Structure 1
Amino acid sequence: MSSARILLVEDDPAIARSIIYTLERDGLEVTHCLLLSDARRQLALRPPDVLVLDVGLPDGNGLDLCRELRVHSSLPVLMLSAHGEEIDRVLGLELGADDYVSKPFSPRELLARVRGMLRRARMQPATPAPTVGANPFDIDLAGQRISLQGRPLPLTRREFGLLADLLRHPGRIRSREDLLSAVWGADSDSTDRTVDTHIKTLRAKLEEAAPGREYIVTHRGMGYSI
C-alpha cells in the first residue's frame, strides 16, 4: 500500500497542504491539482489508485468529473465538499463516488478512508470486467428500473438501490457499510443485517429471472460484488 498513488484535486491551499502532509507521511504518493482541467490531464497521463476530488473547483464541479469517470472506469473516488449538504453527498454517491467526506474533516479520518478504499480495490478479482455488450443488465436510473436479459425485475426501492450500486462497481467488493451509506444514507439507523436481508430477496428475484446464474457474489467478512 505504501506505493499507492493518490490524485488530489483541491483548490484550497491550506486544506491541500494538510492532506498532502498526512498522506505522504503515511507513505503514499500524492499528485496535487488545483483545476479539473489539470486533473483530466493527470488521469490520462498516469491513472492513480485513488482520486480525492473536491466538489467546488474554479473551473467546474467535481461531480461532473466523477460522472465522466464512471462511464469507463471503476477508479475509487473519494468526494470532498465544503457544503456538508445532503444533496451533494447523495448526488455524489449516486454518480458513483465510493465515499464522501464533508469539510471540515480530520486529515487522519481522510487517510483512514483512503486506506480502506485501497484495501477494497486490491481485493477485487484480477479478471477484467465484462464489456458493455456482454452486460445482461439494462439500468434506467431515471425510471428506477433494471432489466435482466430484457426482462424487467420487480424490485423494491432498496433492492433497486443495492443492485444499481453493485452494477456501478463491476467486479469490486462493496462492503456492507458502503452499501448502507449508498442506499440507506450515512445517517440511517439500519444495520449490516438489513443489507444481508435485502441481498437475499434480490438474489431470489435474479434467480427467478435467470435460473442457474449467480450474479451476486458474497465475500465472507468483506461484502458483496456483482
Structure 2
Amino acid sequence: MYFVTVAGNALIILVIGSDPCLHTPMYFFLTNLSFVDICFTTNLIPKLLVNHVMGAWTISYRHCLTQMYFLITFAYLDTFLLAAMALDRYVAICNTLQYCTIITPKLCGGLAALVWISSSLISPVHMLLMSRLTFCSSAREISHFYCGAYLLMKIACSDTLVNQCVFLGAVVLFVAPCVLIIISHIHIVAVVLWIPSTSGRCKAFSTCSSHLSVVILFYGTVLGIYIRPPDSFSAQDTVAAITNTVVTPC
C-alpha cells in the first residue's frame, strides 16, 4: 500500500504537470495534496517497515521528535488543502458564472502559500514545548508505531499541563477547516438539488464525491484518535492510525 500510495500520487502529479488542460485551480490543489500525501506517509511507513523486517522496534529521541514535527506539519497541510479544495468546489458549483473572476491563479497561489507557511509555523511550537519535558528512564516505551505529541506527553515525568492546553488548541484549529468543509458541502447539495437535469446533478455530485470521501475517512480516523485525553489512549488506536496514515493517502 505504501508503494501504491507513492506511485499513484506521483503519477497524479506527473499527469497534471504534463497536460496543460489540467492546469486549473482544482488540479493545482490536487497536485499539492498528492505531494503532501507522499511526504505524510513517507515520514512514517518506511520506519515501520524497517522495524518490522529487522525486528528492532526502537527509535532515537532525535528521530522521534523529527518524525513528530513532520507528522504535525503534513497533517495540517492535509486539512488546510482539503478546505481549499472545498472552497474551490463551492465557488465552481454555487457561483459558476463568477468562478473565473473569484478563483484566480493569484488567489490559488496565495492560498497555497498561506497553507504551507501556516502549517510550517505550527510544528515548531509543539517541538519547543516537547523539548522542555523530561522522561524517566523507566518510561521509554510508546504503544504505537510512530511518535505523536500525545504519546510523548503520556510517558513524560514532568508536568504536561501547558502541552495539553496547546494540544487542545491545536485540535480545535485542526477541526475548524472540517466545519468549513461541511458548511460548503451543505450549500453545494442545496444548489445541486435545484439543477433540473439528472445528468447535471450527477456531474456536480461526482466532482465532490471523491473529495468528500477523503474528508470523511481522514477526519473520521483522526478525530477518533485525538479527541480524547492523552491518558485514555491504548494500543487499539493503532488500527485507526494505520487507516489514517496508509489507507487515506492511498
Q: Scaled by the length of structure 1, what TM-score is found?
A: 0.26
Higher helix share: 2
Higher strand share: 1
Q: Scaled by the length of structure 2, what TM-score is found?
A: 0.24
